Structure 1
Amino acid sequence: MDHLRTRPGAYTDDDYSSDVFDTLDHFKVLVIGAGGLGCEILKNLALSGFKSVDVIDMDTIDVSNLNRQFLFRQSDVGKPKATVAADFVMKRVPSCKINAHVCKIQDMDEDYYMQFSTIICGLDSIEARRWINHLLVEMVDMDNAESLKPLIDGGTEGFKGQSRVIFPTMTSCIECQLDMHAPRAAVPLCTLATIPRQPQHCIEWAHIIKWEEERKDIQLDTDDPEHITWLYQTALKRAQEFGIQGVTYSMTQGVVKNIIPAIASTNAIIAASCCNEAFKLATNSAPFLANPAAIPDGEDPDTYNPEDEFAPVPNNYMLYTGDNSIYTFTFGHKRKPDCPVCGNLPKDLSVPGDQTLQELVDSFAERPEAQLKKPNLRTGEKSLFYSSPEGLRQQTEGNLNKKLRDLLEDGEEVAVSDPAFSIAFRYKIHLI
């Protein structure tokens, strides 16, 4: 391994030497997720020479994980993923110390995240990505270079995958790129409420309708086994009433968390890309994605201005598609000036003046840049609508049937939030 890691490559500097690998001894990496991607990432980091790694994952091992999450065995079913994965890797690579944390990422404070040199995400949740992205942007202190923590994000969906490197406040962030993740297609409520035809309809009915009726005072946590069990049992009863087969606990998890079946080879390729980026960041052995100081190929260094609206940006996003062959495409994704996390401008939104507030509220679930399930809306002067808590909802739900022209001035700014995030989206509403 040392021979492979120390020999010069096509892009290494002339003064490159093996001395740079001394940095791996104190380059601390946090891995978020110990599932399909996380197992591969932990193995790759240990074999690449990283000595100090933390891993966070709150899930336990299920028998369905064993076909691709290779650090786990049949005897590990029911045990925490983070603990088992860390112990397995340290047993095979004793020089690598891995600290396992069985908890949510939200349970750790800012001081905890500040200790790491970089963070790698191997998550299956857009919501979790948005949370850590927002935290890392908020952590940046312009007077402290150590506060900027590069984020390496990997994701897979069947035979497709992506890896990207984000320098908070300097390059486009997760929120800037959110519109690349299409919102899940909605099932009409009338189908869910009256004549379900598929097992997924029964699960969505339990998720969207029944939970609100019977447990509306409890915030649904899709990572809580008790919550998933309640949804599964409720959906199963619904399916039996209509003679529908196929509702299972794992399907309930998949529908509620929007989980796409994973493929081991895709996980391996994307994890390798993520760890290559971490290795390059630690050693400067080759150019890495999203180098904010880089100049895109073909651009004149004397005239290139990254602030220009139409200027290309350095590559920061790798897309892999293995549906028909092995193909990767790397491109630059630009920062959005109206990004609610790393930008400072409100986003323009044109809507009909005779549209109701209810229609506007519903639209935020489908808007690619928002994807909010329970939006709260307010202007600088008044609250328009709050989906929760119940007291505020009762006070504001009378506005839902009012037309926007009766509630807003043309060009007025509206802040839109969601209980699941700490982000406040800013929209300048233009009535047409």
Structure 2
Amino acid sequence: MSQPVMVSGKLTTPGGSAMKKGRWTYLDNVRRNPGPFVSEEFTGSEEAVTASERVKVFGAGGLGCEILKNLALSGFQDIHVIDMDTIDVSNLNRQFLFRASDVGSSKAECAARFVEKRVKGCSITPHNCKIQDKDDDFYMQFNIIICGLDSIEARRWINSTLVNLVDPENEDSLKPLIDGGTEGFKGQARVIFPTMTSCIECQLDMHAPRAAVPLCTLASIPRQPEHCIEWAHIIAWENEKPFPALDNDDPEHITWLFQKALARAKEFNISGVTYSLTQGVVKNIIPAIASTNAIIAASCCNEAFKIATQTNPCLGFEENYMMYTGDAGVYTYTFKHEKKDDCPVCGNLARDLEVDPNLTLEEFIASLAERAEAQLKKPSIRAEKTLYMQSPPSLEEQTRPNLIKKIGELVGNGDEIGVTDPSLGAVNFKYRLKFSKEYRGNAIETASAS
């Protein structure tokens, strides 16, 4: 195919007519002409290959706004976006698809409307709901999934959902997952091919849980505004129960916590408690920087474009994880994160877990929440029989007596247990229990006697 050349400000092909220079000219050059790294599946079509791809975007916040804009300007024309949040005044400094008149409205709907207005021919379907509200058939309709989420739990949920969708006899069931995340001046982008490459659960130890504040500090002498907020969140809420259940996205609930925290702060002469900080602490919101969002979103959309057009190798099989830091200069590094055989989502092996058999089941469950590779909140446990279930209430009541029993009374050394958590979808942690050596003999005798 002849290469177009620039003549008098117009693109012309030898022996052909002049082509009008427009928005998609340079993008079409990439899609039309094979480069040195194109895959064997590259067709060199003049049509907008990306237009036939249906893309799902999770999140319409700081990162999601950038992703939606980039996808539309990269030729993707059938995009869906899901976000349950509404627009707050504090969002306007970096979530550029929103205006002051949008405050209180759905993020997904406003973002879709803005991009459709600016990029003609692009269709964006908004979904103002939780990602868990959609079933498997909904996710099966997409070719590429992109996450711009600020929640580890949400990432783990969609990750396990996509892994479970994979059918070895149906190649269309494999949905590439592109995940972006930012934290201040740092960020990451990664591409996951479910069941084939390392998944989010394989990489969970890179997301350490937030350090807990000692309860004695919260209850006795707080020193920081965050301590006052955590006191309102953990102690005051539990004591007063102003609402049946805490909803972190309900302004009325956050306002109640803010007022309690502010009163606590005044009592100890602590300044700095604000509504915004209260919301950030309760929801574990990390301050966002617009330039970091832009860089990570560009990387995510670049990977989506490469997957859709085959114009270049994407992250995924060799190097699959790109990290960026901008606090001490601009630095990026790409490496391969290995797939784990004992991953609870995409692996097949159980993880060895050393445990003191004299621990009660309740103490053991509490210890699981502190494990970086698990990060569970309300775990349920099964062995050959159900040991404890958090829900439904009838089953919780039935298994509650086991909480005071010792682990050594319920299972044996070397037994496997399955651990699930309702917030993580189909994730099933498999552990092979190894009793601590100093207790192993006594525990075996106890188990034999029972």
Same fold (TM over 0.5): yes
CA contact (8 A) 2:42 2:309 kept: no
Q: Deviations over 1:106-154 (max 9, x none)?
A: 1222221111110100000001111111111111122211111111000
Tell me which residue corresponds to 2:9: none
Q: Distance in 1 between matches of 2:41 and 2:148?
A: 34
The 2-side partners of 1:239 and 1:20 are apart by 64
Q: CA deviation at 1:275?
A: 0.2
Aligned AA for 1:4?
Answer: Y
- For residues 253-272 of structure 1, what are the structure 2 equivalents within 5 Å? 253-272=279-298
Aligned to 1:297: none
Identity of aligned residues (%): 65
- Relative to 1, partners in 2 of residues 1:161 and 1:235: Cα closer, same or farther, differing over 3 Å? same
Whether 2:224 is the aligned partner of 1:211: answer no
AA matched with 1:2: W
- List aligned pairs for 1:310-329, cutoff 5 A: 314-329=318-333
Correspondent of 1:379 among 357, 380, 383: 383
| Native 8 Å contact 2:41 2:310 kept in 1 | no
1:374–1:218 distance in 2 versus 1, CA, 3 Å? farther
State which drifts further: 189-198 or 126-135: 189-198
In the TM superposition, residue 319 of structure 1 has moved relative to its aligned partner by 0.7
Of 32-41 and 200-209, more deviation after overlay is shown by: 200-209
Give the Cα–Cα distance (whole angstroms) in 1 for the partners of residues 196 and 40 of structure 2. Answer: 28
Partner Cα distance (1:120, 1:128) in 2: 13
Q: Does 1:420 align with 2:426?
A: no
Deviation at 1:54, TM superposition (A): 0.8
Question: Aligned to 1:30, what secondary structure does the other structure show?
Answer: strand
Deviations 1:309-350 (A, max 9, x none): xxxxx1111111111111111111121111111112211101
The one-letter code sitting in structure 2 at the alignment partner of 1:175 is E
Alignment partner of 1:431 is 2:435: yes
For residues 65-102 of structure 1, what are the alpha-carbon distances to aligned partners after superposition, in whole Å with 9 as ceiling and x for unaligned? 11111111222222211111111111111111111111
* Runs of at least 5 residues in structure 2 that lack an aligned partner in the other structure: 1-22, 437-450
Distance 1:429 1:214, change over 3 A: farther
Match of 1:189 in 2: 215
Alpha-carbon separation, structure 1, partners of 2:260 and 2:39: 61
Q: Quick one: distance in 1 between partners of 2:407 and 2:242?
A: 28
Structure 1 pair 47/191, CA: closer, same or farther in 2 (3 Å)?
same
Residues in 1 aligned to 2:255 and 2:394: alpha-carbon distance in whole angstroms: 28
Matches within 5 A, 1:245-394: 245-291=271-317, 314-383=318-387, 385-386=388-389
Counterpart residue number, 2:54: 28
CA distance in 1, matches of 2:393, 2:254: 23
Aligned to 1:65: 91
Q: Distance in 2 between matches of 1:87 and 1:364?
A: 44
The one-letter amino acid of 2:110's match is V
Shift of the alpha carbon at 1:397?
Answer: 5.2
Output aligned runs, 1:114-133, within 5 Å: 114-133=140-159
Q: Map residues 161-176 of structure 1 onto 2, 5 A cutoff.
A: 161-176=187-202
- 4+ aligned runs moved over 6 Å, structure 1: none
- Aligned with 1:38 (options 59, 64, 82): 64
* Cα distance in 2 between the residues matched to 1:421 and 1:218: 23
Quick one: distance in 2 between partners of 1:363 and 1:97? 47
Give yes or no for contact 2:53–2:308 (8 Å, CA) kept in 1: yes
Question: 1:37-56 to 2 correspondence within 5 Å?
Answer: 37-56=63-82
Aligned AA for 1:120? I
Structure 1 residues 21, 37: closer, same or farther in 2, change over 3 A? farther
Show the 5 A alignment for 1:400-415.
400=403, 402-415=405-418
Where 2:337 maps in the other structure, the secondary structure is coil
What residue number does 1:309 align with?
none
Cα deviations by residue, 1:261-320 (Å, 9 ceiling, x for unpaired): 0111110000000000000010000001114xxxxxxxxxxxxxxxxxxxxxx1111111
Flag the 1:336–1:139 CA change in 2: closer, same or farther, 3 A. Answer: same
Deviates more, 1:397-406 or 1:166-175: 397-406
Q: Can you list the C-alpha shifts for 1:162-200, whole angstroms capped at 9, x where unaligned?
A: 001111111111111111101110111122222222221
Which residue identity lines up with residue 421 of structure 1 in the other structure? L
CA distance 1:408–1:323, shift in 2 (3 Å): same
Q: CA deviation at 1:239?
A: 3.0
Larger Rg, first or second structure (1 or 2): 2
Quickly say closer, same or farther: Cα 1:17–1:343, change in 2 above 3 A.
Answer: closer
The CA distance in 1 between the partners of 2:242 and 2:390, in whole Å, is 11
CA distance in 1 between counterparts of 2:340 and 2:109 reads 39
Query: In angstroms, what is the RMSD of aligned CA positions?
Result: 2.3
Which residue identity lines up with residue 115 of structure 1 in the other structure? Q
Q: Deviations over 1:363-383 (max 9, x none)?
A: 222211111122222322241
Write the distance in 2 (CA, Å) between the matches of 1:133 and 1:165.
12
- Measure the CA separation in 2 of the matches of 1:396 and 1:17: 59
CA distance in 2, matches of 1:190, 1:390: 31
Deviation at 1:51, TM superposition (A): 0.8
Whether the 8 Å CA contact 2:39–2:313 is kept in 1: the answer is no
Distance 1:431 1:218, change over 3 A: farther
Give the distance between the partners of 1:204 and 1:10, measured in 2 at CA: 55
- Give the corresponding residue for 2:24: 2
Which position in structure 2 is the counterpart of 1:148?
Answer: 174
In structure 2, give the amino acid aligned to 1:426: K
State the aligned residue count. Answer: 409
- 3-state secondary structure, aligned to 2:424: coil
Structure 1 residues without counterparts, runs of 5 or longer: 292-313
Change (3 A) 1:348 1:341: same
